[in-house]
Amino acid sequence: MLSVTADVFRLAEVFTISRGSRTEAKVLTVKVSRGGITGWGECVPYARYGESLESVTAQIEALPEGITRAALQDALPPGAARNAVDCALWDLEAKSAGARAWQLAGLAAPRPEVTCFTLSLDTPENMRAAAAKHADRPILKIKLGTPDDMPRLEAVRAGAPRAKIVVDANEGWTAEVYSDLAPHLLRLGVAMVEQPLPAKDDEALIGLSRPVPVCADESCHDRASLAHLAGKYDLVNIKLDKTGGLTEALALRAAALAGGYGVMVGCMVGSSLAMAPAVLVAQGAAIVDLDGPLLLAEDRDEPLRYADGMVFPPEPGLWG
């Protein structure tokens, strides 16, 4: 039996990016039950990709009973719907086999990984205060993408002088803005810029000097995306809600590394259930950004463990 339900998790604070603000995370939870065993997974429908809770629910409910993980890859396109079902099937397979998902995937036992902590878009004063509050975290990720980004970046660096910084422009810049900001990004020790240009306009990155590495997010969904990234990006951000699950995420990771790209593993704002499969993909990644549960005021009953700036692999009671 396959079921899908909508769940809401309150955020600890208002979370703002250049596209808007939110106070809660709305997710879909999928459960697949066979032979008295239930596997589960979570997805976060994203309006940027034309998804809604309703449209993704309809995709999932239209799947035939008993669908296999292999058949699922052709039954649904990359996206949130396939992600939740794919991860639920991985969980089901692991429980049925009495093994862990990483073993079924032929991977080494996962270890804790250092993860970013995201500061949402705010006034420079508030972002400096937020950076100071989290100054002991090893990596801070800053949401930017507005005409007034430099004061915010300066404020964060002042608040957290020792932290590694990555910037997510959320498609809010132009090639000219990136080029103008690059010397300042270098001066302030920014390690990477995520998706500076709109995906539809990223041809402008070809031939552009990139003194600060650029990572594809909205421009990279699955392996088919890689053919369009050459000469534009240095890294790719792998998110299970984009790839359509762990199956394609692992394949994309292998293909990206073989193609010479660095790998970042990111997330939407969701619960520990959404992050758990991504921890397997995040092993050894250049940048890990699986901080969704840290932004929540509430989480799953057996949440992921976060300590010392790291995210730890899931326990069997949560997933896999």
**Residues recognised as catalytic:** 143, 239
User: How many Cα neighbours within 13 Å face the side chain of 147?
Assistant: 0
As beta bridge partners, residue 29 has: 5, 42
The CB density around residue 315, as the number of other CB atoms within 10 Å, is: 13
Q: What is the DSSP letter of 138?
A: S
What are the φ and ψ backbone dihedral angles of 155, each rounded to 5 degrees?
-65, -40
- In the three-class reduction of DSSP (H, G, I as helix; E, B as strand; rest coil), residue 33 is classed as strand
As beta bridge partners, residue 190 has: 165
Per-position b or e across 190-225, b if 16+ CB within 10 A of its CB: bebbbbbbbbeebebbeebeeebbbbbbbbbbbbeb
| Residue 222 structure tokens | 């699955």
Ramachandran assignment for 20, one of left (phi > 0), alpha (psi -120 to 50 degrees), beta (any other) = left
Q: What is the DSSP letter of 301?
A: S
183, 306, 308, 312, 318 from 276: Cα distances, Å: 37, 12, 18, 9, 8
- In the three-class reduction of DSSP (H, G, I as helix; E, B as strand; rest coil), residue 125 is classed as helix
| Residue 245 structure tokens | 């699950």
Q: Taking the CA atoms of the chain, what radius of gyration do you get in angstroms?
A: 19
User: How many Cα neighbours within 13 Å face the side chain of 129?
Assistant: 4
